Amino acid sequence: MDERSQKLIAGAMAITLSLVYLFLLVSCIWKYAVTGDITNCTTELVLIILIPAAIGWFARKDESLLIPRMFPTGQELPADQSPPAKKRRKKYYFLDAIGLAAIFLIFAILDALFIQKEWEYFVFSPNWSKTTNIFFTYASEFFLGVIIFFAIGFIWSEWNIRRYHRKLKELED
What does pLDDT average to over the chain?
A: 87
pLDDT top residue among 98 and 166: 98
Cα dihedral 44→47→52→56 (10° resolution): 170
Please answer whether residues 78 and 161 qualify as being in contact, where contact means their C-beta atoms are separated by less than 8 angstroms: no
What mean pLDDT do residues 26-53 have? 89
Please answer whether residues 164 and 63 qualify as being in contact, where contact means their C-beta atoms are separated by less than 8 angstroms: yes
Residue 139 and residue 61: Cα distance in Å, rounded? 41
What mean pLDDT do residues 66-91 have? 82
Residue 6 and residue 78: Cα distance in Å, rounded? 26
Tens of pLDDT, residue by residue over 112-124, are: 888 888 887 878 7
Query: For the chain, which residues make up each domain, given as ranges?
Result: 1-60, 63-173
Residue 168 and residue 160: Cα distance in Å, rounded? 12
Q: Looking at residue 46, what is its pLDDT?
A: 92
What mean pLDDT do residues 45-59 have? 86
What mean pLDDT do residues 27-39 have? 88
Long-range CB contacts (within 8 A, 24+) of 44-48: 48/21, 48/24
What mean pLDDT do residues 77-95 have? 89
Q: Looking at residue 96, what is its pLDDT?
A: 93
Residue 160 and residue 154: Cα distance in Å, rounded? 10
Residue 22 and residue 168: Cα distance in Å, rounded? 35
Q: How confident is the model at residue 66 (pLDDT cuts 50, 70, 90)?
A: low
Q: Looking at residue 24, what is its pLDDT?
A: 92
| 103, pLDDT greater than 90 | yes
| 65, pLDDT greater than 70 | no
Give the three-state DSSP class for 155.
helix
pTM for the structure as a whole: 0.68
Mean pLDDT lowest for which of 14-18, 50-54, 63-67, 71-75?
63-67
Tens of pLDDT, residue by residue over 125-141, are: 888 888 898 899 999 99
